[in-house]
Structure 1
Amino acid sequence: MPMFRMRNWLYKAFLGDNERVVHWHVIPVHIWSIQTSQRMVQAQGNDGGLTTTTINKEQHLVSKHTINMRHEELLSTNSHDSILYRMLKLQGLSRAYRRLMMHKVAVLARSMTMPNVRPIFVIISEVITYMNRRIMEHVIEEVDNEALVTTIRTSMEEEVIKIVPAAKSSIDKLEKVKMKLDDQCSICLEEFESGVEEVTQMSCSHVYHAHCIVKWLECNHLCPLCRFEMPKSID
């Protein structure tokens, strides 16, 4: 049965807790662009009826930028000359969404008090959902179906909530192994050299190029394939 694709966008701004800021004039704003692919299927629920659920989620960090801004700059919601506004424009956000995110960042900045000042994260998440014709027709015919909308929104929200770096100590303890079978790194999609190349293996047994998985875990503590949770950074 052919698969259809639906794209959704989720924009979120929140205060980080993995680094401490000590000066009003150097508040980091981290802008992350993330792409998540997932597949929706129908399964039989406990009551015998059909329910829609999401499986096979894969998340990729597309880009990551950090800009240091003064507190008074973050309070501005209308400055088109702001470096944050220009960065959001470069990420492809429409004018309406740029204004919305500038407003959310300003609200977060107003909530700060010295010395309890933290970095700000702006997440731009593209969620691509694959589904068969039956589910697609269900989406089209019942766009107000509360259960279905909740399923989609919840899956999108979960992807953002879980974006926390892995603890450096856990990254340093990752095991190095030799590849025995032909396979590829699920992050960069390049093939391993069987029997020769040394790769990094996580506790869930999935393997990646060392530089790929280290870069990934420095941003996200979840295995890209199975969502296995590494210890979180508490710095």
Structure 2
Amino acid sequence: MPSEPTKRLRPVDLGREHGLSAQAVRNYEQDGFLPTAGRTPTGYRIYTELHAAALRTFLALVRAHGHATAGAVMNAVHAGRTDEALTALDHGHAQLLRDRETLASVRGAVEHLAEAAEPTPGPLALSIGELGHRLGLTPATLRTWEAAGILLPQRDRATGHRVFRATDVRDAELAHLLRRGGYRLPHIAAVVQQIRTAGGTSALAAALTDWQERLTARGLAMLRAAAHLSGYLTAATGAGR
């Protein structure tokens, strides 16, 4: 019994499922995110269910890994470089694991940071050298953090030297922790500013809950993208690509 002919789809047919324009679909093909389409004698593109599967896979990868990685994966797949595609995904999973480990470290430090935010007996006023010694950092590093808006020490009126009080120490300890987790200074400055605005580390606890939810959502998106990619690779192999 002869096999049924492959169903022909137009760019608009592929785009409709995802709310995309026909031009967007054509652009994705041109960028190598979809396999090359066949053409009618008059030059119109002919898409198939394989192209629809490729589009679903690409968009799932975008949600899980971002546009750049998704594009690199699909380009590698269509060039027959499967290991390169999988390596790109491995980097995304490794970053997710690092983020989870950092989250666990920050959570473990929340109690300590909360205690640091409480008034301590007697005045706590550290010099930049004393704070650096406490954290194992150089004064130059602390000055860099100050320039980034992470630390806002007061100045001694008599000497003009920096004075780090309890909340400054808390901010420095949090910054030190996040730096060890691989976070950049602008991100750390934003987190510290949120804590200052809220008046303490209670804001950090709420941020950690949101962070956990986002990591979970990213992990689930990666699972869905992997399922799409696995199915697409099987379909592409069966189609003789």
TM-score bracket relative to the smaller structure: under 0.3
Q: Greater Rg, structure 1 or structure 2? A: 2
Q: TM-score, normalised by structure 1?
A: 0.27
Q: Which has the higher strand share?
A: 1
Name which structure has the greater RCO, CA cutoff 8 Å, separation 6+.
1
